[in-house]
């Protein structure tokens, strides 16, 4: 699985003008299931994100995790993270998991992240979403598992 983790002061996702998920201080996670991914990949990525030390400690160093800070997560599916841009001008997305597998793994990732104790809100798989975020830092971390 691939993810982009952004440390945010706030984030929300809207569908057709209605907010369906939001978070205060924490992370916005854009996540994509790839063709060869399994539930084990989803669980490993969720555990790594929950423990990722990207929040400031008392000395101002990035030394605390979501679990340490009580931060929240807004998780949004984004198959375009699978983009292949090695040739031509139009990205290819054939490395992404098929929609049914992608949705199953996305839901499994969300469940695994919640199981770590992190409060999680979500977008809606496959929907046309407007994602709003205030990146804190800015801190943006690409991850794979």
Q: What is the pLDDT of residues 70-129, one digit of tens each?
A: 999 999 999 999 999 999 999 999 999 999 999 999 999 999 999 999 999 999 999 999
Burial class (CB in 10 A: 0-12, 13-18, 19+), 33: buried
Which is catalytic among the residues 9, 35, 80, 93? 80
Q: Is 119 noted as a catalytic residue in this protein?
A: no
Q: Is 116 noted as a catalytic residue in this protein?
A: no
CA 105, chain centre distance (Å): 12
Evaluate whether 24 touches 70 at the Cβ level (below 8 Å): no
Q: What is the three-class DSSP state of 84?
A: strand
Mean pLDDT value across the chain: 97
Which is catalytic among the residues 6, 23, 55, 78? 78
Radius of gyration over every alpha carbon of the chain, rounded to an integer in angstroms? 15
Which CATH number does the domain housing residue 75 bear? 3.50.80.10
Residue 23: closest CA among 107, 118, 138: 118
From residue 48, give the alpha-carbon distance in Å to each of 43, 98, 101, 141.
Answer: 9, 24, 22, 12
Please give the residue range of the domain that contains residue 135. 2-144
| Number of separate domains in the chain | 1
pLDDT score at 145: 87
Phi, psi (degrees; rounded to nearest 5) at 23: -145, 150
Interval 6-20 mean pLDDT: 98
Evaluate whether 26 touches 73 at the Cβ level (below 8 Å): yes
Q: What is the three-class DSSP state of 72?
A: strand
Q: Is 109 noted as a catalytic residue in this protein?
A: no
Which is catalytic among the residues 6, 55, 79, 122? 79
């Amino acid at each position: 699985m691939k993810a982009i983790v952004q440390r945010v002061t706030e984030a929300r996702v809207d569908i057709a003008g209605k907010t369906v998920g939001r978070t205060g201080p924490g992370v916005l996670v854009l996540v994509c299931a790839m063709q060869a991914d399994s539930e084990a990949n989803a669980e490993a990525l969720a555990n790594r994100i929950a423990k990722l030390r990207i929040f400031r400690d008392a000395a101002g160093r990035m030394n605390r995790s979501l679990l340490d800070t009580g931060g929240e997560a807004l998780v949004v599916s984004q198959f375009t993270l699978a983009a292949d841009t090695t040739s031509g001008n139009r990205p290819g997305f054939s490395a992404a998991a098929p929609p049914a597998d992608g949705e199953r793994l996305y839901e499994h990732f969300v469940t695994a992240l919640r199981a770590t104790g992190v409060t999680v809100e979500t977008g809606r798989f496959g929907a046309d979403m407007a994602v709003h975020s205030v990146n804190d830092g800015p801190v943006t971390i690409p991850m794979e598992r």
